[in-house]
Homo-oligomer: A and B are copies of this chain.
């Protein structure tokens, strides 16, 4: 069994013809005689010739690979996005290199460097929670590599972006809570330097204002995990003026709230309604099932990848799109 990959040169040598002829025969060049073509193709097939994509990339300085930087692979929303990206990329014959920043700024910086070195055709990125300096992303752009942000975007850098309609989603969710009878609604958010947090908070605030409800700053908390929610919620439920509704920045957090509420012997949704954000796997597993804002991660991934490919192909040179993926409410049992 031949162990190393066979090259065009090998075929040429064995067949006593020149490498250029082999190359042309393989790509069915009109100048080459059918006899030669058949000979070459047969040999290539028999010995499992596979073109070396590296050599091709070096020549064309374009390697049909896009890099993705994502805070956490192991998160339903992000893995949905990744899945959408993979699908579009694959259709266009691109590979996908995945980098997980792990919510770590230094790792994010290293990832951008690695992707530039790999000469990827383009980069898709979602910021890590703690990123406040964006030089490494500017570096990507200065290297002439198209860049598209998704979800956790930064507005300091001019480029394409794909976000969900965080403001509208939040507004609609809170409005729904209000219309179904909630008077005091708490909001658990991710850190507020993130655009998604700002936008959702604005949606939350505007919904309250529209219906003339008072804003109570003590009901707005930074909390975006199940564990934190289980930790901080009991105290809030203990207050005489406890809220009758919660709007959470993600489903994990909402599930934590639900756990705390049930533990406090309160009823969902009668005593307390809960609204999540994402529609992840766990939403349907909750009892009652979680009402949540569908975030269409898969769609977002497809959109982001499409924008990136257009940029790579130069179709949208110099123009920057701000794509907004519509959200919609999924009403289940955790709200009235």
Q: Which A residues form the contact surface with B (CB < 8 A)?
A: 1-5, 48, 50-55, 57-58, 61, 63, 65, 72-76, 79-80, 82-83, 86-87, 90, 95-100, 102, 107, 113-114, 116-119, 139, 142-144, 226, 252, 255, 262, 280-287, 298
In the bound complex, do residue B48 and residue A139 qualify as a contact, i.e. CB atoms below 8 Å apart? yes
Candidates B98, B144, B284; contact of A96 at CB < 8 Å: B98
Contact, CB under 8 Å: A72 / B83 = yes
Instruction: Name the one of B5, B53, B139, B262 contacting A144, with C-beta atoms under 8 angstroms.
Output: B5
A98 to B82, CA, bound (A): 9
Q: A52-B119, A53-B119, A119-B54 are in contact. Are A99 and B86 (CB under 8 A)?
A: yes
Contact residue among B63, B95, B96 (Cβ-Cβ distance under 8 Å from A54): B63
Complex contacts, A63 vs chain B, CB 8 Å: 54
Q: Known contacts A54-B57, A282-B285, A287-B286; decide if A95 and B76 are in contact (CB<8 Å).
A: no
Q: A52 vs B58: C-alpha distance in the bound complex, in angstroms?
A: 9
- Bound-state CA distance A262–B289 (Å) is 13
Residues of B within 8 A of A283 (CB): 285
Tell me, in angstroms, the Cα distance from A2 to B284 when the chains sit together. Answer: 52
A58 pairs with B54, CB closer than 8 A: yes
Name A72's closest neighbour in chain B (CB-CB): B83
Chain B: CB-nearest residue to A95? B97
- CA A86 to CA B255, docked complex, whole Å: 28
Q: How many copies does the complex hold?
A: 2
Q: Are the C-beta atoms of B255 and A285 separated by less than 8 Å?
A: yes
A96 to B113 alpha-carbon distance, docked (Å):
15
Cβ-defined partner of A143 (8 Å) among B50, B76, B102, B284 = B50
For the complex, give the distance between the alpha carbons of A262 and B284 in Å.
Answer: 14
**B residues near A117, Cβ cutoff 8 Å:** 50-53
Q: Are B73 and A83 in contact (CB under 8 A)?
A: yes
Q: Which residue of B lies closest to A280 (CB)?
A: B281
Q: How far is the CB of A287 from chain B (nearest CB, A)?
A: 4
Q: How far is the CA of A273 from the CA of B39 in the complex (A)?
A: 66
A119-B52, A287-B287 known; A73 and B65 CB under 8 Å? no
Give bound CA distance, A99 to B74, whole Å: 16
Return 9 A-B CB contacts under 8 Å, by A number: A4-B144, A5-B116, A50-B113, A73-B82, A74-B83, A86-B100, A95-B114, A226-B284, A287-B287
Closest to A52 in B: B119
Query: Least Cβ distance of A266 to chain B in Å?
Result: 14
Q: Are A97 and B65 neighbours in the complex by a CB distance under 8 Å?
A: yes
Question: A144 near B74 (CB under 8 angstroms)?
Answer: no
Q: How near does chain B come to A51, taking the closest CB pair, in angstroms?
A: 6
**Which of A74, A76, A281, A284 has the most B CB atoms < 10 Å from its CB?**
A74
